[in-house]
């Protein structure tokens, strides 16, 4: 293999023009050994940086029509889109925990027992039987670091460093917990205060500091700094690395860092958007400075569509609604509408992924697991259903089609609908998490090309669509019967069939 690779390099250089002789092979072997010690050739596997915003709507970044229309330009993120592939139809699950479960496992969250955001103080999260993206990449030789919000377990055995990450700094649950200590009655509730945690693989996480309104605006700065330090450390060692950076922005309470507060003059949300763009720019500048851009896959995306409202005041006395933007799509998180499902997505890998390309092909967060495995030389588990599809050829521009026609739309553990091509079937609808649930005797059907707001039911005369769209739901139901989902709250150790 080394000789073949060396010959390819010599051929490109104009050195080899004829059949390689036995004597020449010896020279090439020496050259191949030299390549092994050259920094440019020391690492074949691409680094992966995955920036994962929290409740960040499709319409927020400039490359999707946001940016200046939301109060702050996003030049660094927009340049990232110019340098890579922008997906306008990248989809997630519609709550934080299920979305992260699907991303990490390549499976519908229903399968892992994480179909809903946990309430109460019980055990939740990924059982150790699940194979995470971090575990898969770690087994392929990657250094793995996570900085930010986990939301897939808060008890021993279920922290990120129990699930394939070499190191972690962040919060186990959600950012709304930063508000707790400022609310009347909390001190007397007996509920423990939330802490920022830090751990290395095999260690019990240690408490770093309370996660409260004092630290809420500061945490994403620290997450960025720690991610950059991890990148530098592993780039110097020529070790392939995976950085998972699930920021706390823009989850409620949406508070910018003091360095950005008042920066735009357009309010806290615009300030926060400027902050996100700046931090992303720092990550990209670091990668460019280290000379590893051509060997680094960089993704910018989010876990859910926008929240309906938040707070713009650190004192929590001024309750000003901060409505995120889903662009042309209807809905927020905790709904089955496109505004909950579609989030911004850009992937850049210079020299591999063609620059300046946009596509409306359907892709789901579940697809990143097998795609990373294909690009990084990882192994996809063969002993369980993997719902994600390998998008490597599509990302690399070798095909114009993603290969995914649609997916099942879950809201929690309930099937709300089915998405198929440019059509959407709804069995249940809810305009927001606090609204009345509507269940239909006959499904409602929307044409997303002509009706992005999903308001005009066109089931008649298009009753042919369910005949095509519901095949995937039938297959999914059969799969769930063959491989029963893990019940929520299942303790470790877990084995299939329990």
Distances (CA, A) of 43 to 30, 235, 296: 19, 10, 11
141 with 45: CB under 8 angstroms?
Answer: yes
Residue 30 has which token pair?
A: 């020496």
**First vs last Cα of the chain: how many Å apart?**
45
Cite the active site residues: 96, 151
Q: Count Cα neighbours of 261 within 13 Å in the Cβ-side half-sphere.
A: 10
In the β-sheet with 423-429, what is the strand arrangement from edge to edge?
406-411, 414-420, 423-429, 438-447
Sequence-distant (6+) residues with CB within 8 A of 488 are: 113, 114, 115, 116, 124
Sequence-distant (6+) residues with CB within 8 A of 236 are: none
**Rounded CA Rg of the chain:** 23
Residue 255 has which token pair?
A: 């508070």
């Amino acid at each position: 293999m080394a000789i073949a690779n060396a010959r390819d390099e010599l051929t490109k250089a104009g050195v080899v023009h004829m059949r390689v002789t036995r004597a020449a092979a010896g020279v090439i072997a020496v050259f191949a050994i030299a390549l092994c010690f050259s920094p440019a050739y020391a690492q074949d596997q691409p680094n992966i940086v995955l920036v994962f915003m929290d409740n960040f709507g499709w319409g927020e970044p400039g490359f999707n029509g946001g940016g200046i229309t939301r109060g702050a330009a996003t030049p660094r993120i927009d340049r990232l889109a110019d340098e890579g592939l922008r997906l306008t139809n990248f989809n997630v699950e519609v709550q934080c925990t299920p979305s992260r479960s699907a991303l990490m496992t390549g499976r519908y969250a229903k399968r892992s027992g994480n179909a809903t955001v946990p309430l109460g103080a019980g055990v939740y999260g990924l059982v150790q039987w699940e194979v995470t993206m971090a575990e898969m990449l770690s087994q392929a030789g990657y250094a793995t670091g996570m900085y930010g919000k986990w939301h897939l377990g808060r008890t021993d055995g279920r922290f990120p460093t129990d699930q394939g990450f070499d190191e972690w700094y962040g919060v186990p649950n959600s950012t709304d917990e930063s508000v707790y200590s400022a609310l009347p009655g909390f001190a007397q509730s007996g509920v423990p205060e939330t802490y920022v945690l830090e751990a290395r693989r095999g260690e019990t996480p240690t408490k770093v500091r309370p996660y409260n309104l004092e630290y809420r605006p500061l945490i994403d700065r620290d997450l960025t700094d720690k991610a950059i330090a991890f990148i530098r450390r592993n780039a110097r060692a020529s070790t392939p690395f995976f950085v998972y950076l699930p920021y706390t922005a823009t989850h409620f309470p949406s508070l910018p860092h003091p360095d950005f507060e008042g920066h735009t003059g357009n309010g806290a949300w615009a300030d926060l958007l400027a902050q996100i763009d700046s931090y992303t720019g720092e990550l990209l500048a670091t990668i460019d400075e280290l000379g590893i851009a051509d060997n680094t896959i960089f993704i910018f995306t989010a876990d859910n569509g926008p929240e309906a409202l938040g707070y713009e005041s650190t004192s929590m006395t001024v309750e000003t609604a901060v409505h995120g933007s889903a662009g042309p799509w209807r809905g927020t998180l905790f709904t089955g509408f496109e505004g909950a499902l579609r989030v911004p997505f850009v992937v850049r890998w210079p020299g591999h992924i063609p620059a300046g390309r946009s596509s409306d092909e359907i892709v789901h967060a579940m697809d990143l697991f097998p795609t990373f495995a294909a690009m990084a030389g990882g192994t996809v588990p063969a002993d369980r259903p993997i719902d994600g599809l390998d998008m490597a050829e599509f990302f690399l521009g070798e095909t114009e089609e993603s290969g995914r026609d649609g997916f099942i739309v879950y809201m929690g553990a309930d099937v709300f609908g089915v998405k198929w091509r440019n059509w959407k079937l709804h069995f249940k609808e809810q305009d927001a998490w606090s609204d009345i649930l509507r269940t239909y005797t006959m499904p409602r059907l929307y044409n997303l090309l002509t009706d992005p707001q999903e308001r005009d039911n066109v089931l008649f005369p298009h009753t042919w669509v369910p005949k095509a769209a519901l095949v995937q739901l039938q297959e999914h139901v059969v799969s769930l019967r063959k491989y029963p989902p893990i019940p929520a709250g299942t303790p470790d150790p877990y084995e299939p069939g329990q």
